[in-house]
Amino acid sequence: MAGGAFTGITIGMFEALGIQLSAPVIRILVGGGAGVIPVLAVVAMYDPEALPIAQAFAHGLSGLIATLMRLLLPLTLLVGLIYVAFIPFNFMQPFLDRDVLAIYNVMLFAVMALLIGVTPVHGSGLSPQMERWLRRTLLAVAALALLVSFYATAAIVYRIAGGGFTPNRLTVLGWNLVNMAVLGYLLFKQRQTPEAHWVPAMHQVISWGANLYVAWGVAVIVLLPWLF
């Protein structure tokens, strides 16, 4: 499911900019995102020296999902870098087309979910080198997502300036501001935290961000009927 979502969002993002991916690229995305990555997730957890019944699989389904998310992380970074490189050539698309802006926001929420999914709950169970790689890749994806969040928020503000507030625009603006606050705090917190304690720092950011999301969700439910 995660691989399929990654493939679908990637194709949708590029189509939103008017970029039609070639058939070979789509086959690679479908085969890699929806096929190879889940297999690699299982292989990464499998101990060839242990009997099937003795396989630990890092706490079962949760460990498999965490491994799957970690494999998606570098692919997300790669696709994000390529996508950002195309933005200057189609800069005004999200400013003028609400469907493109909607795809941006779906992508940002998917990235936020991925950042939460790759964060270890207790110990990472990884070697120090792999844990360092995980943290650095996570921070790179977060920085890229923050950049895109600024871009998407600018598009929302542009549409509000031209057509005024609507319930949808106000709601999306709030979600984007919350996303930017969480991503900015994540990067700041990790910069101030020793590498050995990066996981507890991530937990603090996730907890703080969850409170912001809940607060804005309640505000939307309560305030929108009064404002519109």
- Higher pLDDT: 56 or 156? It is 156
Structural domains in the chain (count): 1
Q: Does the pLDDT at position 164 exceed 50?
A: yes
Q: Hey, how many other C-beta atoms are within 10 angstroms of the C-beta on 226?
A: 6
Q: Show Cβ contacts of residue 193 under 8 Å, excluding neighbours closer than 6 positions.
A: 201
Q: Show Cβ contacts of residue 207 under 8 Å, excluding neighbours closer than 6 positions.
A: none
Indicate the SS3 state at residue 91.
coil
For 104-156, how does the pLDDT look when each residue is reduced to its tens digit (9 = 90+)?
888 888 889 889 988 887 665 677 888 899 999 999 999 999 999 999 999 99
Range of the structural domain that residue 163 is part of: 2-227
Its pTM surpasses 0.75: yes
Joined together, the tokens standing for residue 203 give 């937990």
Residues 84, 148: contact at Cβ < 8 Å?
Answer: yes
Half-sphere exposure of residue 11: CA atoms within 13 angstroms, side-chain side:
17
